[in-house]
Amino acid sequence: MPELPEVETIARQLKKHYLGKVITEVKVKPARIFINCKPEEFSHLLVNKKLKGIDRYGKFMIWKVDGLFPVFHLGMSGIFIQQKKKTMYPKHIHVSFKFEDNSRLFFQDVRKFGKIFLYKRRPKFIDLGPDPLAENFTLINFRKLLNLSGVGIKSFLMDQHRIAGIGNIYANETLYLAGINPFRPAKSIKPREAEKLYQAIRYILEEAISHFGTTYTAYQTVEGNNGENQNFLKVYQKENELCERCGGKIIKVLINNRSTFYCKKCQK
């Protein structure tokens, strides 16, 4: 599921509702999604701690909780949902947080591809590339990364070790906006095209955040609403529709086993 815009949307809403509150209870369901700590340890260490900060790096969400840093990766189907009624207890809940005001927050993950970590210091994510909305993601750096790469441009955009935060939907949309064919080798991208692509990455992600993310199947905001960005997509899931820009047909192919949508006519 969630790519950078969805994680950012969730982080903003969590801040709005829970920042500054003390966690009074943490219930966990033992599952392989706990990576570097035991579920019961996660639960025990977070009780009676205040949620002091929430931020994001790529698709990772980092909480700051009185000297501890729980980190969440939402995988394909992870979401955070507020409990709206006391009787509301959805399926596939792996963590349930209760706060000092008796409000509850659930971490739900149907497919269990999500990951939960617990650190004593804020992780530096040295394995990941730059976050595309951060200051250190500059055009100069982006061009360098492109030149060093031996893969196709779509795989390049989705490789978290190169750029952290772009997944399949936004890789498709970014390449469409920049007018670049997804089969092109990353190295073949010319300086002018690199600039267009760089701007497209930021534009597509920022627009998606302003639309609260893209709901294609499972994704919902913390408040339980669908995102709205699916109404603004140009190619993703638009197979056989006509390209808004040139009237060409949008086609679907597989690249690295991931559905890829593009306009053969205007994406060169």
Partner DNA sequence: TCTGACCTGCGA
Partner DNA sequence: TCGCAGGTCAGA
Rounded distance, CA 5 to CA 58, Å? Answer: 9
In the residue annotation, 245 being an active-site residue is answered as: no
Tokens of 238: 């638009």
SS3 (DSSP) at 48: coil
Min dist. Cβ of residue 114 to DNA (A): 9
Quickly count: other Cβ atoms within 10 Å of residue 47's Cβ. 13
Stretch that binds DNA, among 19-27, 81-89, 190-198, 256-264 (CB under 7 A): 256-264
SS3 (DSSP) at 209: helix
Q: For residues 141 and 259, which CB has a smaller minimum distance to DNA in the complex?
A: 259
The CA angle 114-70-162, to the nearest 5 degrees, is: 60
Q: Which of 91, 120, 190, 268 binds DNA (CB under 7 A)?
A: 91
What residue type is assigned to position 254 of the chain?
A: L
| 73 is a site residue for DNA (CB under 7 A) | yes
Stretch that binds DNA, among 36-44, 117-125, 145-153, 192-200 (CB under 7 A): 145-153
Quickly count: other Cβ atoms within 10 Å of residue 22's Cβ. 15
Rounded distance, CA 266 to CA 12, Å? Answer: 36
Site for DNA in 180-219 (CB under 7 A): 213-219
Q: DSSP letters of 180-206?
A: --TTSBGGG--HHHHHHHHHHHHHHHH
In the residue annotation, 258 being an active-site residue is answered as: yes
Active-site choice (49, 56, 59, 238): 59
CA 11 to chain centre: 10
Q: For residues 1 and 54, which CB has a smaller minimum distance to DNA in the complex?
A: 1
Cβ atoms of 164 and 129 closer than 8 Å? yes
Q: For residues 18 and 170, which CB has a smaller minimum distance to DNA in the complex?
A: 170
Min dist. Cβ of residue 134 to DNA (A): 16
Q: Which of 68, 93, 133, 151 binds DNA (CB under 7 A)?
A: 151
Q: Which of 101, 135, 140, 150 binds DNA (CB under 7 A)?
A: 150
Looking at the annotation, which residues are catalytic?
Answer: 2-3, 59, 258
Q: Which residues bind DNA (CB under 7 A)?
A: 1-3, 6, 32, 58-59, 73, 75-76, 91-92, 110-113, 149-152, 155, 158, 160, 167-169, 213-219, 227, 256-259
